[in-house]
Structure 1
Amino acid sequence: MKWEGNRESDNVEDRRGDDGGGGGGGGFGFGGRSIGIGTIAIALVGSYFLGVSPMTIINALSGGGGAMAPVQQQSPARAPPASDTQAKFVAVVLADTEDTWTALFRAQNAQYKKPKLVLFTGATQTACGTGETASGPFYCPADQKVYIDLAFYRLMQQRFNVNSEFAQAYVIAHEVGHHVQHLLGIDEKVNAARQGGSEKQANAMLVKLELQADCFAGVWAFHANRSRNILEQGDVEGALAAAAAIGDDTLQQQSQGRVVPDSFTHGTSAQRVRWFSKGIETGEFTQCDTFGARSL
């Protein structure tokens, strides 16, 4: 992925190094149990590529619920140091999503409100509660911020040999996709609809929400590449291959030895690939109507 020299966003907040975010002991405690880095890494894989809740996987693998990790004390917002290459990459990707969605909203006579992206270590306070490293990257609609611990990327590289910068960029674009949904009021409609239905119906709505965020990420990639020629040979194929390897179906098979489609909340691997592909092939966010689609 070609990104060096592109514009960096000013909307990156660096909370790394704040007090209270450290760990110690090589694992995280959940319900009185010590969960090793291997279990957390498996959980992070699902979140990384498919948005699957890592806490759900951790609970399935450990057989229990979870206590909170230490919470960071928030310091005044600050930008990451200019010498931090990985933070610079994140800032460039965020800027790219800003440029893309600003243009797309403007074409619809609307104004795009840029989200903040928060870098943290260990745990941090958010308007949605405590954000933790074990939760992987996530979006909080209450404060309109994307949160990520960059140690997440190191885990992916070291344990699962995922070295694709485009796959890393896709993670950010997916979370920004949730921000777009929030600006459009889609997430609020989904939450309201989930309140009146069964668990199966609620899960089905979540699947559509996640797949739409995948499609929005593809829309970003289409426009970013057309405007700034960011993609290199193998970028898309690598991201799609990784997504195809992991989905609700695959993760359930690995964690519990069976697949329960009614409990899916993020979609199968094939569905994830299909909707991201639709976004990156068409570049039209109107093509991302997972809620009106006859089939996913």
Structure 2
Amino acid sequence: MKWRDRSGSSNVRMSGGKAAGGGIFGIIIGLVLWLVFGVNPMTAFQTGQSITAGNSTSTQPLNDESRDSQFVAVVLADTEAVWQEIFQEMGSSYREPQLVLFNGRVNSACGSATSATGPFYCPADQQVYLDTSFFAEMSNNLGIAGDQQGSGDAENQGKAGDFAQAYVIAHEVGHHVQTLLGTSQKVNEARRQLSEIQGNQLSVRQELQADCYAGVWANRNQQRVQFLEEGDIEEALNAASQIGDDRLTQGTVMPDNFTHGTSEQRVNWFTRGLQSGDIRSCDTFSGAI
């Protein structure tokens, strides 16, 4: 994947110290999490209070010159350019999310998380969260290499696996797009009326749509900057297949409890978005998936 020598986003932040606040604001945050985003009431108010009690994590501008930080900034900038273009075509404007890099643990408006949580998007503060160990975890646990295998060319080092990593970031940004389009709110409202099994099925459809949006981004970004190289698509498809519910649980969890979709479903919907470059092809909420 070609990403070097391109500008990065200014919306990448590093997690920092604790941010203080006031009690009334904790109640307001709790209400928003409960009524708008469907978070469990007790969890919502606990989160609101923890944030305003000084347990939320403040952020600071990116000042890290490492390969991973710069890569994240470039990928986020690519998502911004593509989604700005798509939203303009729809007669709307795209509100860019922030991406927070953290180390070990972070507090978001959706609650606290550790590196074990993996990359996630919080609709309550409209930020993507990414642990700095993410790239190593992909390589060690998913078998997605971070370096060009069998190549002595220093220029090619670090290329293999780049697009798989970019796919995961684009998936989380896809959840931000769902928030902007009102999809996330509708899903949360519907889940409050459904059984746990039905709610899980709705979550699967939401996750698969984010996979499809990641594919749409890849298609449109290729048209924009020709960033794909030989083998990149296979890397992303491999990543999608490795993080399917059936693969991750190794048969220990019944399909009714799946929340992200099977490996086959995730590959299929990413491919659909990649081939079409059109978000209208990403309607996972109608018909079979």
Could you say which residue in structure 2 is the equivalent of 1:279? Answer: 273
Whether the 8 Å CA contact 1:222–1:281 is kept in 2: the answer is yes
Whether the 8 Å CA contact 1:72–1:124 is kept in 2: the answer is no
Offset from partner CA, 1:222-259 (integer Å, 9 cap, x none): 011111011100111122123224411222335x2xx5
- State, as a whole percentage, how many aligned pairs show the same letter: 50
Could you say which residue in structure 1 is the equivalent of 2:31? Answer: none
Could you say which residue in structure 2 is the equivalent of 1:200? Answer: 197
Matches within 5 A, 1:213-252: 213-252=210-249
Please tell me the residue identity of whatever aligns with 2:285.
F
Matches within 5 A, 1:138-177: 138-163=120-145, 164-177=161-174
Could you say which residue in structure 2 is the equivalent of 1:80? Answer: 63
Runs of 4+ in 1 over 4 A off after TM superposition: none
Could you say which residue in structure 1 is the equivalent of 2:46? Answer: none
Higher relative contact order (CA 8 A, sep 6+): 1
Matches within 5 A, 1:109-124: 109-124=91-106
* Structure 1 unaligned regions, length at least 5: 20-70
Whether the 8 Å CA contact 2:99–2:129 is kept in 1: the answer is yes
Whether the 8 Å CA contact 2:241–2:247 is kept in 1: the answer is no
**C-alpha RMSD of the superposition:** 1.8
Could you say which residue in structure 2 is the equivalent of 1:295? Answer: 288
Where 1:15 maps in the other structure, the secondary structure is strand
The CA distance in 2 between the partners of 1:142 and 1:243, in whole Å, is 26
Offset from partner CA, 1:190-227 (integer Å, 9 cap, x none): 01111111111111100000000000000000011111
Offset from partner CA, 1:146-194 (integer Å, 9 cap, x none): 0001212112223443120001001110000000000001001001111
Could you say which residue in structure 1 is the equivalent of 2:2? Answer: 2
Offset from partner CA, 1:85-112 (integer Å, 9 cap, x none): 2101000000000000000000111000
Question: Which stretch of structure 1 is more off in the superposition, 123-132 or 241-250?
Answer: 241-250
Query: Residue 73 of structure 1: CA displacement?
Result: 6.9
* Structure 2 unaligned regions, length at least 5: 19-53, 146-160
Offset from partner CA, 1:247-273 (integer Å, 9 cap, x none): 11222335x2xx511111111110000
Matches within 5 A, 1:44-193: 74-75=57-58, 77-81=60-64, 83-163=65-145, 164-193=161-190
Whether the 8 Å CA contact 1:72–1:122 is kept in 2: the answer is no
Name the TM-score, length of structure 1 as normaliser: 0.77
The CA distance in 2 between the partners of 1:160 and 1:264, in whole Å, is 19
Query: Residue 14 of structure 1: CA displacement?
Result: 1.0
